[in-house]
Amino acid sequence: MPDQSFKSHTKWDPPFHFFLMPVMLATFIFSVKHAWAYPNGITLWLVLLSISMFVWLLKTRIYALGVQDRLIRLEERLRMEKLLSAELMLRFDELSVGQLVGLRFASDCELTDLARRAIDERLTQKQIKAAIQKWRPDHVRI
């Protein structure tokens, strides 16, 4: 697997990002233009149908990412129970899902300090990722 870093960790899903999304966007634009040129029940129905398909596509992606976020939360809780002090683990629920998503890239040796900073300084996911010195790659997330 290739190395990951703050600059290279973003993952693109080509079928979703470069095929489905553009096709759905083009379908919506085409249906609106067609309904504008030929307004009737069928063309308006096609606009509504293209909107619903676009929403459906987005919702399925959001649901999948939501499940991954829940798994990351569980994985990081288990990891942190092994690495963090009991005092810091009591503050685990102060970490947002976004912060946990950022912390998953932190190596074990920097996790404690970054977790404490994330809570105390209310670091964002991006700030946490930028602060990581030794990157722990995640090649599984979609």
Whether 103 and 95 have beta carbons less than 8 Å apart is answered as yes
Residue 10 in this model has a pLDDT that exceeds 80: no
Q: What is the pLDDT of residue 128?
A: 97
Who contacts 77 (Cβ-Cβ below 8 Å, separation ≥6)? Answer: 92
pTM for the whole thing? 0.76
Stretch 24-50: mean pLDDT: 96
- Helices vs strands, H then E, count in the chain: 7, 0
Q: What's the pLDDT at 4?
A: 67
Report the distance separating Cα 45 and Cα 129, nearest Å.
45
Side chain identity, residue 77: R
